[in-house]
Amino acid sequence: MTAPADPDLPHSPSPASPPVGRARALKHWLPFLDWPRPTRGLLVSEALAGLTVALMVIPQGVAYAALAGMPLVTGIYAALLPALIAVLFSSSARLSVGPTALTSLLVGATLAPMAVPGSAEWVSLAVWLTLLSGAMQILLGAARFGWLLRLVNSPVLMGFTQGAAVLITLSQLPALLGYTGRTPLQVIQGPPPDFIAIGFGLGSMALLFFGKRLSPRMPTTMLLVAGTALISALLGYALGGGAVVGQLPGGLPDFYLPQALGWHTLGTLLLPAFLITLVSFLETASSAKVDNARAGRLWNENQDLIGQGLAKVASGLTGSFPTSSSFSRSAITLYAGAQTQWATLFNVAVVAVALLWAMPLLYHVPQAVLAAIVATATIGLLKPRSFLQLWRISRIEAGIAFGTFVLTVATAPSIYWGVLGGLLAALSHYMYRHLHPRIIEVGLHADGSLRDRHLWHLPPLAPDLYALRMDAELDFASASTLERHITEALARHPDLRHVCLFAQPVNRVDLTGAEVFGNIRRLLEGRGVMLHLSGLKLPAQQVLDRAGLLAPGPLFAQYRTDGEALAALARP
């Protein structure tokens, strides 16, 4: 017989059930353990949403594979296992993971000088790019370094996106205008264009444009592909030499291991792989923030990095190219009524069925239709008014955005130089602002606040006082500027007897800042000038305290608030 539990003793969990903390940690690393249990009504709704997205991603995958220079079927491979792995290990529930225009362009642009598109060497290099980018994302997420990718600000991303959209659209013009596979010289000297291809291409763009606006939930892309394939077959377009998709291998993807690379080639791929990581994560962020905001959750960026990285590794090991979250398909997922991760499972199931039995149906699809799908998607990214809007807000940042745009277009196919150049310009602007902090002489405004004395034409707080405020941290970048301002003020006004630093905006002091503060205090004491320090925050105060720079003295006074400082300075 078991003795009854003592109510005064703390209850210990049963050995058969794991501690709550361990279960929570397990769900953190394996988010699929926390999926909601499906009901019949939920599964019906999720199945319809998954079908809607699948009918969009299959033709898009083929089109984006062509853009990446990959075998066309790999675009569908990229929508299968990567989507499944991403939904299992990502924290965002309703992202549509698969091939996207930007990542496909980056693959094609990176490998253009290195191999022949579609060749075995090209595929192997693309897989290496995919694996490297996936490994980077996994490492960044596991180390909780997702914040590093925020270094790319909005102007740089905007300039790169606009430049990439222009390049993608231009790359589709030969197919849209009936010159598929011809060089510019052949276009000038060769036979006339394929007018049937022009009809397919431009007509498809018009249908996609109006279909998206009239009925966003309708699988316009898939209906277009099916309709044009039927028309192409009835016309005998392929038999007449027209450029069509052709025979695609059916069945699920096999396991793929890329060819071994030399260190030099591997090093060449590192920078483009990092750029793919960066662009992919920013694409994910744009979708994940919307998804999590609608669900009322905080976005776990590091877990999404891990999930997206694992998806890329899965894509590479099936012989495909880098994947990412598509903002347009994720928006369709939400619009179609998806509520949970189960919608993605239905999406994956439809893609698998298509690979097993539907590949012959894509044989007669004109390549001009694939070009129209890509061009329509990227034209939607073109927003030239964004530059004008940014110009009205900040001319410097507008210049960075436009410079990134120009550099991206000018350096094609090595378009990663556009992002790197924009990033360098943005970081230089950031450092310039920190090396030139805003330091103002303050006066007392009529509303009782301390404001820029010269801007508001305010009298000095006292005749023999120099009162200033620095709106920055006191660190290696700003400290010397503060010291110079005080030194110049002493030179201009040799009769000064008091200097008051209103330090409330100072959030942090580093070693250089502490040393400069000590220099300022000794400089003022040497001239018999009293230093007043007001509103210093605790983290900054602790640093100066440990350095022994806040010790009481006859020529030093410290105040907790600006009100106390003003009251003390008003006394004769």
User: pLDDT by residue (tens digit) across 383-398?
Assistant: 899 999 999 999 999 9
DSSP string, 510-525: -HHHHHHHHHHHHHHH
Res 292 pLDDT > 80: no
pLDDT attached to residue 6: 44
Compute the distance between CA of residue 294 and CA of residue 300 in angstroms, rounded to an integer: 14
Q: Predicted confidence band at 259 (pLDDT cuts at 50, 70, 90)? A: very high
Res 19 pLDDT > 60: no
- Give residue-wise pLDDT tens across range 334-357: 777 777 888 899 999 999 999 999
Residues 6+ apart with CB under 8 A from 222: 55, 56, 58, 59
Cβ contact 167:415 at 8 Å: yes
What's the chain's average pLDDT?
A: 88
Res 446 pLDDT > 70: yes
Q: Predicted confidence band at 294 (pLDDT cuts at 50, 70, 90)? A: confident
pLDDT attached to residue 27: 63
- Give residue-wise pLDDT tens across range 238-251: 998 888 999 999 99
Res 407 pLDDT > 70: yes
pTM: 0.79
- Give residue-wise pLDDT tens across range 127-149: 999 999 999 999 999 998 888 77
pLDDT attached to residue 21: 61
Residues 6+ apart with CB under 8 A from 153: 397, 426
Bigger pLDDT: 129 vs 215:
129
Compute the distance between CA of residue 378 and CA of residue 371 in angstroms, rounded to an integer: 11
Q: Predicted confidence band at 497 (pLDDT cuts at 50, 70, 90)? A: very high
Q: Which amino acid is at 235?
A: L
Compute the distance between CA of residue 271 and CA of residue 129 in angstroms, rounded to an integer: 10
Q: What is the 3-state secondary structure (H, E, C) of 241-310?
A: CCCECCCCCCCCCCCCCCCCCCHHHHHHHHHHHHHHHHHHHHHHHHHHHHHHHHHCCCCCHHHHHHHHHH
Most confident of the ranges 275-279, 326-330, 371-375, 440-444: 440-444
Residue 518 to residues 120, 214, 309, 459, 542: CA-CA distances in angstroms?
66, 69, 49, 29, 14
Res 13 pLDDT > 60: no
Most confident of the ranges 215-219, 284-288, 561-565: 561-565
- Give residue-wise pLDDT tens across range 65-98: 999 999 999 999 999 999 999 999 988 878 889 9
pLDDT attached to residue 281: 84
Domains of the chain: 39-385 (no CATH), 439-570 (3.30.750.24)
Mean pLDDT to the nearest integer, 204-212: 89
User: What end-to-end distance do the CA atoms of the chain give, in Å?
Assistant: 87
Handedness of CA 535, 540, 545, 551 (dihedral sign): negative
Compute the distance between CA of residue 104 and CA of residue 162 in angstroms, rounded to an integer: 15
Res 365 pLDDT > 90: yes
Most confident of the ranges 8-22, 150-164, 197-211: 197-211
Q: List the structure tokens of 73.
A: 């079927």
* Backbone phi, psi, residue 94, to 5°: -125, 35
